[in-house]
Structure 1
Amino acid sequence: MKGFLPRTLHPGLQILLLLGFMALALCVAYAVIFAWGMGGFGLSVGELMAALQNPAGSPAGWGVMMMVQGVTLGLVFGGGALALASALGYGWAAYFSPRRLGAGWWLLAAGALMLVLMPLMSVVIAWNAGAHFPGFLHDFEGWARASEDRAAVLTKFLTRFNSGTRFAVAVVVVALVPAVAEELVFRGVIQKNLVRWFSPHVGVWLAAAIFSAIHVQFFGFVPRFLLGLVLGYLYLWSGNILVSMAAHFTQNAFQLLLVYLTQRGQFGWGFDPDSNEALPWWLVLPSGLLTAALLYVLSQRMAAAPAPPTQMLTLSSEGVKRTV
């Protein structure tokens, strides 16, 4: 496959080019959103704008917001990452998955890891949600909390599943599309290039920090950063983007499932999936032990897989060199 960009581009330039492709894809996404809003939902421009500004006050608000999220993530993130790989002359599989999937159980184990991790993460979520900034950042803290409160209202609106159809749409838009699109960007491009630029561990940690920061949720930064680390190491160890995608999808989809079952009254003990409270220690302790065990097993088994069949060229201070 031929691209119009040299494969020896510095990793930093590849990340900058990713941002450029994402900006171009955003223009396409806007066009699709307006075309879909007027053609698919039968809304005028004014009605579409009103639905975007106040979705709860529009009969089509829920559908419009789901459409906007799906189109934006799919085209801007996913499209931007795929466009970069093509521009560099790589097939998508070769660029994002330089290693073949070692075994199907890798995907199942990655998903299981996310489920096992959840009780432990509840402690981090509770701590971060209750954190306070220094006194001189009091005004910023107030603004940040108000912003997250507004985001929480929108999230509750979008996760109001009054039918199985709404739940199915949410699984696709809120779980599947982000799992694919965000992994292509943050692990498939950003982490890959940061690893080449610096080192494997530095690349994973920097990519996780960017992944968390881009969500602009200051009182959820630490748990999302830790999630980014887990996803990053899964990709680093496996060399296959499907593994981190499977983990990411499981994380998102299981949370949606908990919300859906709670709304249908399936949990009789007053379980609240939106709560920031930590789960009991008798769930957290086994979660921590099982998470550590799974991470160790996955790191050993994935690292023992055959070496990547493809090599990529990068330009460094030492000249052109081949890297995995």
Structure 2
Amino acid sequence: MGISVASFVALTLWKASRHEARAARDYPPEGQFLSVDGHRIHAVVLGHGPDLVLIHGASGNTRDYTHDLAHQLARRYRVIVFDRPGLGWSDRINRTGATIRQQAETLARAAAQLGAEKPIVVGQSYGGAVALAWAVHCPRNLSALVLLAAASQTWDGPLPTYYQVLSHRWIGPVAIPFLTAWVHDERVERELDSVFTPQLPPAGYNDHIGAALTLRRPALRANALQRANLNEEIRALRPLYPGIAVPVEMLHGSADMIVGLPVHSEPLARQIPGAHLTVLPGIGHMPQHVCKPQVIAAIDRAASRAGLNLASRNAILH
């Protein structure tokens, strides 16, 4: 019995390592690495124009934006897409789950290394919470804020079991290798489909995003810890929203069942002076893919409100 258990554990660790090696081979870094406080941060830089930072959501990576939107925006912005700490190809910055403030401050320093002292900052879903933390805690290091289906308020209810298990101090490190070893990429791709509900992912998205990157052991752990801590971090951040002084544009789908419009963006529009909320009727959680013209228009409005000069108003073909 003991030998069988030991053999299964050894096989699991071997399969997990093989899965991670395939992920590295099939989905290598798209951009460059910066060193911020001794941690590697992966950044993709495209285009020319006003600086624009894109921050992805939970379980994501740079490929969420480089599938298409970043390339469209690069026609008249200098686009910087980051892997958040612990996800994609960026290092974890601690073992307890980097807070949204720690992530924001790290990415602000990374942007400054690239010469982007005051970029427009765009955040989607969990990345929207990081973008809000950037605006609150690094107010001199951005010119405008654009939020896409952003998590911004506390919510009721327990943490989902999946995150309870993977973020647990002892259970998580035991369970995670089994997921990496035995869960197929196709299962993650099916979950991605559900994130887009009621829309579908665009053609080629699942192949581009790299589900295998999400299943690597460090990414699973970092993502779970960040998600487990988010509600209390937002509780501390929320009272500071009225102090946000940069132009704020918000987009949120009325059919978003993951980060609900009435719970999050509608209250936030009242909490930030001058914030402008665009409601997208019938749209789910991924407007950066299914409503790209509206997202681009919101970024353009933010740039205009911030007094930034766009070289060509017609450079992006909607």
Which TM-score bucket, shorter chain as reference?
A: under 0.3
TM-score w.r.t. the length of structure 2 is: 0.23
The structure richer in helix per residue is 1
The structure richer in strand per residue is 2
